[in-house]
Amino acid sequence: MLYQSIVEATELPRIIRLERNVYGAVFSLMKLLPARFMIDRAEDNGALTPQTTVIETSSGTFGLGLAMVCRMRGHRLRIVGDPAIDKNLRARLRGLGAEVDIVESVGRTGGYQRARLDRVAELCEQYPDHFVPGQYDSKDNPNAYGHAAELITATLGGADCLVGPVGSGGSTGGMASFLRLAEPDMRLIGVDTHGSVIFGMPDEPRLVRGLGNSLMPANVQHDAYDEAHWVNAAETFRATRELHETRSLFMGPTSGAAYLVARWWAARHPDAKVVVLMPDEGYRYQDSVYSDEWLRENGVRQDELPARPQLVGAPSSAGTGWSYTEWGRRTLTDVLSGDSSGRGLVAAGAAI
Ligand SMILES: Cc1ncc(COP(=O)(O)O)c(C=O)c1O
């Protein structure tokens, strides 16, 4: 097969059997899919011309995907990130011709995310001819996952359960909506981390990057999820390293967290076909997740993984270890109105 570009060659996942009934949809860089799709759409509808500056906020993989696509198409790109963009990624983005703004100060609420969005607004004023792809709001993000869903259907004949990490909500929401056209009952399990507002916890500093959020993205379609899990940093990093140590799969931490959940759910449903989204490779995390020294410095203990999560009735009971709730395709408001402690309600109300 001759590909016309590295994006075309690597944007779709490889489907790899990981357990008897668990299949990884293993991406080199999942965000290439929405990056290419959103740029294509904007070029087609005239929102993006050769004079337009593309402006986007990202602290990682979406920025890299956009930079690759924009370089190939000749578009000027400004990425607004935070210190999570390590110096290697910064150098790579700059090598691809992107200008990188790092916000150093944390906004009053909404963490770096708020500060990044404020900077994007400033840049938009500075560049009147701009295009903001908007991975958190644009429907072109979830809509980008049609071919990946087709590949799963063609390879496995569909899925009974899809497990994936949730950041913007684009990949899990998009893949599920395509797969459910054929199988409306397919279970969707979202994987989040403690201190993220996505499934109703209060915003707190988080060590896991790539999943979770300090602000609520419009692209998270809460009523699409059947189950929501919270996996903490130590569990996420341990599971990521186990994936490498036992399956030779060298992936980023969001893949590890999703794998932990998928493996557990699949063992309890031996007749179900479980697909787990694995969004990026491990290279970017060699000095963090894969470094014992970094883990020690950050107070992350490499304990044994819990055999199972704790079932909780509401986000406010999620505690500090791996836990989950039966979301039941409800809206966030419905879930939080049943949360009698109100802790989650206050947090999400502040963040939306
Ligand atoms: C490495 C990684 N994993 C998972 C996600 C979450 O995917 P989504 O934004 O589609 O919810 C992201 C989002 O940026 C990511 O960078």
Cβ atoms 158, 186 nearer than 8 A: yes
Per-residue pLDDT reduced to its tens digit, 139-148 = 999 999 999 9
Nearest atom (ligand 1) to Cα of 135: 9
Structural domain contains residue 352: no
Nearest atom (ligand 1) to Cα of 170: 10
Same domain, 73 and 209: no
Structural domain contains residue 189: yes
Per-residue pLDDT reduced to its tens digit, 129-186 = 999 999 999 999 999 999 999 999 999 999 999 999 999 999 999 999 999 999 999 9
Q: 24: part of which helix (H) or strand (E)? A: strand 22-26
Structural domain contains residue 348: no
Same domain, 23 and 79: no
Residue 165 CB–ligand 1 contact under 6 Å: yes
The Cα 301–Cα 329 span in angstroms is 34
Residue 210 CB–ligand 1 contact under 6 Å: yes
Structural domain contains residue 346: no
Residue 166 CB–ligand 1 contact under 6 Å: yes
Same domain, 116 and 230: no
Same domain, 251 and 329: yes
Structural domain contains residue 47: yes
Mutate to test the pocket of ligand 1, among 26, 27, 30 (most ligand atoms within 8 A of CB): 30
- pTM for the model stands at 0.94
Same domain, 62 and 211: no
- Ligand 1 centre to CA of 271 (Å) is 28
Confidence of residue 254 (pLDDT cuts 50, 70, 90): very high
Mutate to test the pocket of ligand 1, among 27, 29, 31 (most ligand atoms within 8 A of CB): 31
Averaged pLDDT for residues 272-298: 97
Same domain, 206 and 326: yes
Same domain, 78 and 197: no
Structure tokens at 162: 């899809």
Same domain, 181 and 36: no
Query: Over the range 17-26, which residues count as b (16 or more CB within 10 Å of their CB) and which as e?
Result: ebeebbbbbb
Residue 120 CB–ligand 1 contact under 6 Å: no
Structural domain span for residue 206 = 6-30+140-338
The Cα 101–Cα 196 span in angstroms is 24
Confidence of residue 35 (pLDDT cuts 50, 70, 90): very high
Residue 212 CB–ligand 1 contact under 6 Å: no
- Ligand 1 centre to CA of 333 (Å) is 24
Structural domain contains residue 351: no
- Ligand 1 centre to CA of 70 (Å) is 20
Averaged pLDDT for residues 244-257: 98
Which are the contacts of 165, defined by CB distance < 8 A and separation ≥ 6? 172, 190, 191, 192, 210, 211, 254, 255, 257, 258, 277, 279
Structure tokens at 114: 């708020």
Same domain, 232 and 162: yes
Same domain, 80 and 208: no
- Ligand 1 centre to CA of 169 (Å) is 8
Q: Is pLDDT above 90 for 223?
A: yes
Helix axes 170-179, 146-156, angle to 10 degrees: 50
Confidence of residue 83 (pLDDT cuts 50, 70, 90): confident
Residue 278 CB–ligand 1 contact under 6 Å: no
Q: For 13-22, 254-263, 303-312, which range has the lowest pLDDT when averaged over its residues?
A: 303-312
Mutate to test the pocket of ligand 1, among 57, 112, 171 (most ligand atoms within 8 A of CB): 171
Q: Give the end of a domain, one of 103, 131, 159.
A: 131
* Number of folded domains that form the chain: 2
Structural domain contains residue 106: yes
Q: Which of 126, 114, 135 is nearest to 351 (CA)?
A: 114
The Cα 85–Cα 69 span in angstroms is 19
CA end-to-end distance (rounded Å), the chain: 46
Q: Give the end of a domain, one of 76, 110, 131.
A: 131
Residue 144 CB–ligand 1 contact under 6 Å: no
Structural domain contains residue 207: yes
- The CATH number of whichever domain residue 282 belongs to comes to 3.40.50.1100
Same domain, 300 and 273: yes
The Cα 259–Cα 239 span in angstroms is 7
Same domain, 68 and 48: yes
Q: 174: part of which helix (H) or strand (E)? A: helix 170-179
Which residue's alpha carbon is at the smallest distance from atom 16 of ligand 1?
210
Q: Give the end of a domain, one of 82, 99, 131.
A: 131
Per-residue pLDDT reduced to its tens digit, 326-350 = 999 999 999 999 876 544 443 443 3
Q: Is pLDDT above 50 for 253?
A: yes
Q: Which of 317, 351, 319, 306 is nearest to 332 (CA)?
A: 351
Cβ atoms 190, 158 nearer than 8 A: no
